[in-house]
Chain A
Amino acid sequence: MKADDELDESIFRYVWRYTRRQQMWLFGVLLLSLPLYYLTLDLPKRIVNGPIQGTWPAGHTETLFAFSIPLPGFLGGGTIHLFDGIALDRVGVLIGLSLTFLFFVIVNGLFKFYLSTYKGKLGERLLRRLRFQLVDRVLRFPTGRFKQVRGSEIASMIKDETEPVGGFGGSAFADPALLMSQALTALVFIVMQNFWLGLVAALIVAVQIIMIPRMRRRLVVLARHRQLTARILSGRIGEVVEGIVSIRTNDTSNYERAEIGERLGKILKIRYDFYQWKFFVNFLNNLLAQTTPFIFYLGGGYLVITGRLDIGQLVAVIAAYKDLPSPLKELIAWDQFRVDVQSKYAQIREQFVIPDLVAAELQQISFDAPPRLDGEVTVSNLRISDDSGNELLYPTTVKFAPGESVALVGPPGGGGEYLAEALVRLLQPSGGRVAFAGAMLDTMPDAIPGRRLGYSASGLFLPQLSVRDSLTYGLKHAPLRREERTDRAEMLRLEEARLSGNIDLDIRDDWIDYEAAGVSGADALPQRLADVLAIVELRTEIARLGLRGKLPEMLAEDVTGRILDARARFRQRLIEGGDEDYFESFDRRRYSDYATVFENLVFGIADPDAEAEWPMADRPSVRAALEASGLDDKLVRVGRQIAETLMDIFGDLAADNPLLDDMDLMSPDEVEIYRAALRRSEGDGKRETLDRQAFQRLAFGYVEPRHRLGLLEPELQQAIVAARDHFADGLEADLRGAVSLHDPAGINRAASLQDNILFGRIITRYAEAAGRINTVLAETLREAGLFDVVFDLGLDFDIGSGAKRLSAGQQQKLTLARAILKRPDVLVLNRPLSALDGETQRRITAAVLNAREELGIAGQTVVWVLTHADHAELFDRTMAFRDGRLDANEERRAPSMAVT
């Protein structure tokens, strides 16, 4: 283990190990600041006693700032005069001393400022180091350990529980030393004034110092208890989030509520105990501190009265005692902090110091391409057992020839999957060994199996990345193409990383190993990504994501032109194919039947969330346009008719009737609002603005062919089209961001690529329209050469947290594609496509096996645990596992070794 990696048992040793030099420096600066601090205390006395209150004969001057160093006797005695000083009169001395005081106040403040920032920085570095070390250890946990830990607990430990350690780092050594010296000085001073009184004070201090921390031990126990309970709470909350499907499908939300409530109750109880005890101890501590003056007054007063003590001495003792409680109190507080941090630290440490961590050397970064594992794979006497010692795989000996494709079949748990996991070192064998091309697997550094073996299984976790990054994740082993950065910021970054013992590799560099993917560089990569996605039948789905997703913020200039070109081509194709009546293009001068009234009014689309923020009908520029065009009343009337019809149809249904969801224009909980609005507006009485806007909102959502209420007369349509002019010259501030306009000669940023190319609406009344338009669109894309743009947009699609925006099948295809992309020497697949139907699985399996030639890795060995045993005919050899034993091992054809 590297020395850099140690997590000492004692927090002091830990802090000392990593911040020794800084602590010394801190201490030195602190010492230097002390005399200055005392000077600021001393100077006021001199100012008062000297120029202000002192007797000062007229014309008398005093010499200030004389500075000399007395020499000790062995150097011959005498003094060295450095500065003879200046002679000043009374006002001069006052000014001189006051300025000196100001000077020291400033210097003192600066020292304080420096010390606190230094301590803060030191603490933060220590915190960064500790967190990094903990994450580093998580990365090196043995695989089996992950069965026992909960992700959110680990996260809570690394993020929250380490926090106080940082604060402690700055005050671990310097603070107690300083406070202790202050307290001792005061104590010594008291003892010097009067031995017995000093002894009493020392005794009470001793009681405080010994007893209070002892009583606080219970606090530590409670704090540890609280820490554990809180950690489990965060684990449980994580489980609730992860397990939401089970909760919803079993109606256990109240069970979870009760369970979490119980835990919160426990935490509250612990906290309550904690506070009670804490304030009790504080009370006791204060009482003890106050007893000392009581003894001074009583005992000291008695001694003075009986004449055994000088009154001046008593006053001096009491004055000196003033300085004692505050450092003492801080010292006790510091000790409390120490104990608390030590306990937290020990709790964390316990989870991260485990004997069988993966050795750091095995994960050492390697910039060189590792040796190829293209020889024979030998598995000899491999035995695998579970935690309780049950045999999962009985001793098995097999060989895989280079370039061979082997199917592992058998029931789930039959043994094949364990062999597969052992091949990629996910399982620690309990006996036997695996060797690739003569090299033992168990002693290889991660760089070799991690780069030369490929693995995919069902249910692999995908972090939230774009499709592109998810695919290239398997190629990011080291920053191979490093950018030269020599500016100050970079220097600072490196310096800080080193000071905190973090890794100094730069995440901004290009980490992608293009060579492993078989391409020359970044330019050729998208084509290769398209190839592997095509193999797993994911390419068109990714393209579709690009087509339907929102346009990115940044769009290359030529792409804009190509989109507009495609728009024209699409129109052309529609006309040529005789499909015009399936589609309705947006036209500034024509009402679009399949768009809503509002979309027709502004000639654009509205952000679906904007209405809830601020109703469109209430926005000033919409108001202005409606009033100027005379549409105001007309749309209220339309809305009213819609409301009446909906009331007529749905009005007598109970509020929870599921049929209400079919209303479309109105949500079920709005029914009562509209019923009331209708009642208010009966006849042609005065209508309130709110009611009017509510009716207009109904009218805004109306689409004649869909809702079929016969409300849009041609004149009304014309009036709406005419009102568009109010928005044509750009949007006012109240609509910006909420509405984006159609532009026949430009791109609508808020719309998807597909909507931008179509630039119109499908006439959904025709049963076949949607399918036909899709075909025409696909042809257009191909013709306009936009497919790569679409695909590129698809690659940028954010797959969501835990890849939840992709279906289970898509996730499996993606992880399989990732394994293929890095062109490993041995590809191990563990039921990688279980979420797909049998026929698709067969097609993709065949495609993966055949693609080896095309990807330039004809010699790749494939070991595939199959879901469907009958797909085994696609492979060179089939091995059947049952009850942990190799049952049958048959060759179909001659192994394709001959290919090389």
Chain B
Amino acid sequence: MMLKSEIDLLRAVPLFAAIDPSRLKLIAYTAETVAYRQGQVLCRQGDAGDAAYVLIEGEADVSIAADTGDFVVAALKPGDVVGEIAILCDVPRTATVRATTQLSALRVRKEAFLQLVKQFPEVATEIMRGLAERLTHTNEELVRARNLAVGEGQPQ
């Protein structure tokens, strides 16, 4: 995996999609590729998050611990991004990500990313716009879900 293809990979990530290509190069250069064997853990629920991962090849499961045991909430494939919330704010990992095959990923460190945002406010604007869109999207889903719940509740 070389720098050029990594830039393309990053461009496909919604969070980074709107960022100027010349800045995206910076992110790619300061990122690193990491490899995991099957069964190894990229991040663990509850740990402090310090990086986002973009899958280059291989697959991974996202699971959440519950009283009844872990249950898988999502499966990741190449091109998917995980842990991007952690590089924007200090929240513990909300889920555990485990490689289900041999896996390699691009690791974007929080400090490098925040430094970039600090140096180029326009990047921050792009990210804000992306987040706002996702928030609107989430709000709409919430309204829809509530309507659904209200609709279900009425017969009783």
Contacts and interface: CB of A to CB of B under 8 A. Distances in A.
A394 interface: no
Contacts of A766: 34-37
Interface stretch (B22-30, B138-146, B148-156): B22-30
Nearest to A663: B29
Contacts of B33: 705, 708, 765
Contacts, number: 49
B2 A650 contact: no
Interface string B1-31: 1111010000000000000001001100110
A77 interface: no
B41 to A, nearest CB: 9
B25 A649 contact: yes
Nearest to A658: B115
Nearest to B24: A649
B116 interface: yes
B115 A765 contact: no
Contacts of A706: 32
Given A708-B6, A709-B2, A652 B119 contact: no
A144 B36 CA distance: 61
A652 B26 CA distance: 11
Contacts of B112: 662
A36 B33 CA distance: 92
Contact of B115 (A648, A659, A709, A768): A659
A765 B36 CA distance: 9
Contact of A645 (B3, B34, B115): B3
A708 B22 CA distance: 17
A657 B119 contact: yes
A658 B119 contact: yes
A708 B3 contact: yes
B40 interface: yes
A768 B30 contact: no
A710 interface: yes
Interface in A457-483: none
Contacts of A658: 115, 119
B25 A710 contact: no
B26 A659 contact: yes
Contact of A767 (B1, B2, B6, B36): B36
A653 B120 CA distance: 10
Contact of A709 (B3, B32, B42): B3
A659 B35 CA distance: 25
Given A649-B26, A650-B26, A662-B30, A710 B115 contact: no
Interface in A628-651: 645, 648-650
Contact of A768 (B2, B37, B104): B37
Q: Which residue, A649, A652, A653, A658, has most C-beta atoms of chain B within 10 A?
A: A649
Interface string A704-727: 011011100000000000000000
Contacts of B36: 766-768
Identify which of A645, A657, A705, A767 gathers the most chain B CB atoms within 10 Å of its CB: A767
Contact of B34 (A648, A652, A709, A767): A767
Contacts of A659: 26, 30, 115-116, 119
Nearest to B31: A708
B51 to A, nearest CB: 11
A709 B33 CA distance: 13
Nearest to A651: B22
Interface string B98-123: 00000010000000100110010000
* Interface size class, chain B: 20 to 34
Nearest to B1: A708
Contacts of A648: 25
A500 B33 CA distance: 69
Interface in A674-714: 705-706, 708-710
Interface string A754-786: 000000000001111000000000000000000
Q: Which of B2, B22, B32, B35 has the most CB of A within 10 A?
A: B35
Contacts of B26: 649-650, 659, 662
A648 B3 CA distance: 13
Contacts of B25: 648-649
A648 B4 CA distance: 12
Contact of B40 (A645, A649, A708, A768): A768
A649 B42 CA distance: 28
Contacts of B1: 708
Nearest to B112: A662
B35 to A, nearest CB: 5
Given A658-B119, A709-B3, A649 B29 contact: yes
Nearest to B34: A767
Contacts of B22: 649, 652
Contacts of A710: 2-4
Contacts of A705: 33
A198 B22 CA distance: 100
Nearest to A652: B22
B25 to A, nearest CB: 5
A608 B42 CA distance: 34
B36 to A, nearest CB: 6
Nearest to A662: B30
Contacts of A652: 22
A708 B35 contact: no
Contacts of B4: 710
Contacts of B37: 766, 768
B3 A765 contact: no
A765 B29 contact: no
A153 B119 CA distance: 48
Nearest to A648: B25
A653 B34 CA distance: 28
Contacts of B42: 767
B151 to A, nearest CB: 47
Given A708-B2, A708-B3, A708-B6, A767 B29 contact: no
Given A645-B3, A709-B2, A768-B40, A662 B35 contact: no
A765 B2 contact: no
A649 B32 CA distance: 16
A706 B33 CA distance: 8
A645 B4 CA distance: 11
A705 B35 CA distance: 12
A652 B21 CA distance: 13
Contacts of B29: 649, 662
B38 to A, nearest CB: 12
A767 B40 contact: yes
| A645, A658, A659 pick with most chain B CB within 10 angstroms | A659
A767 B60 CA distance: 15
A717 B54 CA distance: 30
A251 to B, nearest CB: 21
A710 B30 CA distance: 16
A709 B7 CA distance: 12
Interface string B46-85: 0000000000000000000000000000000000000000
A768 to B, nearest CB: 6
A705 to B, nearest CB: 8
A659 B114 CA distance: 10
A113 B107 CA distance: 78
Nearest to A710: B2
Nearest to B105: A767
Nearest to B42: A767
A766 B25 CA distance: 23
B35 A765 contact: yes
B87 to A, nearest CB: 15
Interface of A: 645, 648-650, 652-653, 657-659, 662, 705-706, 708-710, 765-768
Query: What 9 A-B pairs are tightest by C-beta distance, nearest first?
Result: A710-B2, A662-B30, A767-B34, A649-B25, A766-B35, A708-B3, A765-B35, A708-B2, A649-B29
Given A662-B26, A662-B30, 15 more contacts: A645-B3, A649-B29, A658-B115, A659-B26, A659-B116, A662-B112, A708-B3, A709-B2, A710-B3, A765-B34, A765-B35, A767-B35, A768-B36, A768-B37, A768-B40
10 contacts: A649-B22, A649-B26, A657-B119, A662-B26, A705-B33, A709-B2, A710-B4, A766-B34, A767-B42, A768-B40
